[in-house]
């Protein structure tokens, strides 16, 4: 099941990068649908795989041995509510390292060029806290917007997805 989830995540990420022109609402909706499917697959990860399923292990889908850091987020989803087109809004996602080793964020990749994440490049010690600031520029983004920031770190699993949504009131023509 992890292999299917990993492949689906790679597909979604690839689609997001390829289609991240940020001007096509249909593309944005399709990405959101694919992410919802990924969430559903991840929530079923504990289900028993069919006998025909085979698992191929590779270094990327095998949990590393030894002590690992772990995220404990205050939230991973945010709703900005209704904003006006052209507004720039931001939210800070807070976390604590509840693992057994220093936590290092390797990257934070937005689903769209209109979203900019920033974070501390320093390792977060065990018990320490950190934050990821996400800014969204709604210029040219009318109506419902759903965006993601994909966090890659030295945790297990390596990838965490932060999400936000908003309704952007279009500018008068």
Separation of alpha carbons 40 and 58, rounded Å? 23
Evaluate if pTM is beyond 0.75. no
| DSSP tag of 54 | -
Say what the pLDDT of residue 139 is.
Answer: 96
Say what the pLDDT of residue 172 is.
Answer: 87
Say what the pLDDT of residue 54 is.
Answer: 40
Please say whether the beta carbons of 86 and 138 come within 8 A: yes
Domain count, the chain: 1
Which CATH number goes with the domain that contains 151? 2.60.40.10
Structural domain boundaries, residue 70:
2-169
Block means of pLDDT (10 residues each) for the chain, 173 residues, are 54 51 57 67 53 45 88 97 98 98 97 95 97 97 97 96 98 87
């Amino acid at each position: 099941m992890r292999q299917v989830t990993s492949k689906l995540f790679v597909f979604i990420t690839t689609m997001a990068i390829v289609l991240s022109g940020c001007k096509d609402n249909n593309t944005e909706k399709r990405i959101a649908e694919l992410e919802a499917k990924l969430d559903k697959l991840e929530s079923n990860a504990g289900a028993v795989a069919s006998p025909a399923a085979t698992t191929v292990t590779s270094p990327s889908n095998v949990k590393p041995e030894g002590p690992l850091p772990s995220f404990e987020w205050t939230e991973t989803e945010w709703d900005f509510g209704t904003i006006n087109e052209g507004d720039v809004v931001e939210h800070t996602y807070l976390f604590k390292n509840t693992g057994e080793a220093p936590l290092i964020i390797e990257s934070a990749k937005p689903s769209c060029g209109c979203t900019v994440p920033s974070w501390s490049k320093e390792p977060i010690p065990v018990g320490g806290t950190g934050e990821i600031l996400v800014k969204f520029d709604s210029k040219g983004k009318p109506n419902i917007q759903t965006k993601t920031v994909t966090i890659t770190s030295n945790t297990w699993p390596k990838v965490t997805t932060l999400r936000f949504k908003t309704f952007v009131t279009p500018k008068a023509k």
